[in-house]
Amino acid sequence: MGSITNMKLSSEHDIAKIFNSYVAAGAIGTAWELGLLDEVRTQKAVDIDEFAANHNLDLASTRALVSALATSDILQRQGGAALPGRLLEEAYRTKSLFHWLALGSGSLFARMQYVIRNENREGKFYSRDSAAIAYACRDANTQFIDPVFLDALKSSGENFTSVVDLGSGSGERIMQVLDRYPESTGLGIDIAGPAIEVARSDAVKRGYGGRINFLVGDARKLDYRDEFAKVDLLTSFLMGHDFWPREKCVSSLQRLRKAFPSVKRFFICDTVRILTNDPRSRHAVQEDDVPIFTLGFEFGHALMDVKLPTVEDWEGVFKDGGWVCVKQHHMLPPSLTVLFELVPRDADAINSVRIELLLELWRLVNKDIKIQVVQA
């Protein structure tokens, strides 16, 4: 009888944790946006009532916010103070992912029972908070993606002079490249006119006005323009799945190759499918061992009727699209995100010669080390 009782209590406890974690996910994003997480990390003990008063927050709701975070060991409560919990640092590192899920995409999941029905999946059948998603994505880029991208730029060995960022948003990516290459110029292309205006204004305020321009355009349907002639670096971040399905992706890649005749590198970065709808991927995960972000990202995009490619799907389009992938850079989290480093197919022979020369130099320096070259 005792073991049955314990099992019942354990099950009830586990279910309660699931219920409470739903609230805690939104609380992490909220506490970050309000500045509470930063203040606790800095001060180690924050008076809850004082924090609410200083930030013009409802007192009862602020106390409840701390309780929500305490249930998941993000914070601890000691009297009237909020202290760091066991999981504060990891929650802070992944805060943007919780913000994306609970605040940016909350309205999508809250209407799950409606969106999943076929009779409702026409026209504009879902909504999300685009401002909250943009807020989360900026931090996710800084935390997880930017270091990998900047390192890949450096290791490419190229001295880029002109960059185009597809889906440029705030223009932050272009500014990073311009900082790395002081003589370079940049062009941002985004389908959203309002985003372009904000980015243009921000670029001027930050002193990039003479080096950056922006234009409204659909990255999937670009044709050659005179200002594309000398572009040697092309980038696309977290929008690659919009190129799909396969036929459209191949067509878009071909158009981009023709539109940018002088490009030396094309970096495509996107989160790939590893869990839902039988991914058939060497990177697939099982449902009892799912990393952070994966389920929310893949389920959310399924609800929105967006097809997410696997790594293998991507690998299968580059050749037909006119490109060769010379390197993959993997990031986890968010989920499995891959930075594909592409060169034009017609540049493949040149790159092969360059690689062979480097390998030969390596052999001369390290005569006792055997190197096996595997041709893709």
Question: Mean pLDDT over residues 100-129, rounded?
Answer: 97
Q: Is the pLDDT at 364 greater than 70, yes or no?
A: no
| One domain, residues 177 and 82 | no
**Could you tell me the two tokens for 11?**
């099950």
Tell me: do 314 and 220 sit in the same domain: yes
- CA 343, CA 257: separation in Å to the nearest integer? 10
Contacts of 107 (CB under 8 A, 6+ apart): 126, 127, 128, 129
For the chain, how far is it from start to end, CA to CA, in angstroms?
62
Q: Which two tokens stand for residue 69?
A: 């975070």
| Distances in whole angstroms, Cα of residue 58 to Cα of each of 37, 46, 132, 370 | 17, 16, 21, 67
The span from the CA of 364 to the CA of 357, in Å, is: 11
In a domain, 69, yes or no: yes
The pTM for the full model equals 0.85
Residue 263 forms part of a structural domain? yes
Amino acid at 129: D
pLDDT reading at 193 higher than 90: no
Number of domains, the chain: 2
Tell me the per-residue pLDDT of 167-177, one tens digit each, with 9 for 90 and over: 998 899 999 99
> Is residue 225 domain-resident?
yes
pLDDT at residue 356 tops 80? no
Q: Is residue 189 situated within a structural domain?
A: yes
Residues 178 and 69 in one domain: no
**Closest Cα to residue 161, out of 275, 62, 265, 256?**
265
Asked if the structure places residue 165 within a domain, the reply is: yes
Neighbouring CB atoms inside 10 A of 34's CB total 16
50: CATH: 1.10.10.10
How far does CA 10 lie from the centroid of its chain?
36
Residue type, position 266, single letter: F
Residue 298 lies in a domain: no
**Within a domain: residue 116?**
no
Same domain, 331 and 186: yes
Does residue 373 or residue 228 have the better pLDDT? 228
Q: Rounded to whole angstroms, how far apart are CA atoms 72 and 95?
A: 14
Integer Rg of the chain from CA? 24
- Unique residue bearing structure tokens 């037909």: 320
Q: Which two tokens stand for residue 264?
A: 């030396």
Cβ-contact 137, 239 below 8 angstroms: no
**Residues 63 and 199 grouped into a single domain:** no
Residues 183 and 276 in one domain: yes
At 315, which CATH number? 3.40.50.150
Q: Give the domain range for residue 56.
A: 2-93
Q: With contact defined as beta carbons under 8 Å apart, do 267 and 152 qualify? A: yes
pLDDT at residue 77 above 80? yes
Is there a single domain that holds both residue 311 and residue 228?
Answer: yes
Strands 265-271, 337-344: pairing is antiparallel
Domain co-membership, 160 together with 228: yes
Confidence band for 198, pLDDT divided at 50, 70 and 90: confident
Alpha helix (H) residue ranges in the chain: 2-34, 36-43, 48-54, 59-71, 88-93, 95-98, 106-110, 112-115, 130-140, 146-156, 172-180, 193-205, 246-259, 294-303, 311-315, 318-321, 348-365
Any domain includes 241 = yes
pLDDT at 287: 96
List of residues 6+ apart from 154 with CB closer than 8 A: 180
Same domain, 171 and 320: yes
Helices (H) and strands (E) in the chain, counts: 17, 10
Same domain? For 201 and 85 the reply is no
Q: Are residues 229 and 89 in the same domain?
A: no
Please say which residue of 53, 71, 93 terminates a domain. 93
Per residue in 2-27, pLDDT (tens digit) is 555 565 678 999 999 999 999 999 99
Mean pLDDT of 148-174: 94
Q: Say if residue 89 is in the same domain as residue 159.
A: no
What pLDDT shows up at residue 362? 67
What pLDDT is attached to residue 161?
A: 98
Helical pair 2-34 and 36-43, crossing angle rounded to 10 deg: 100
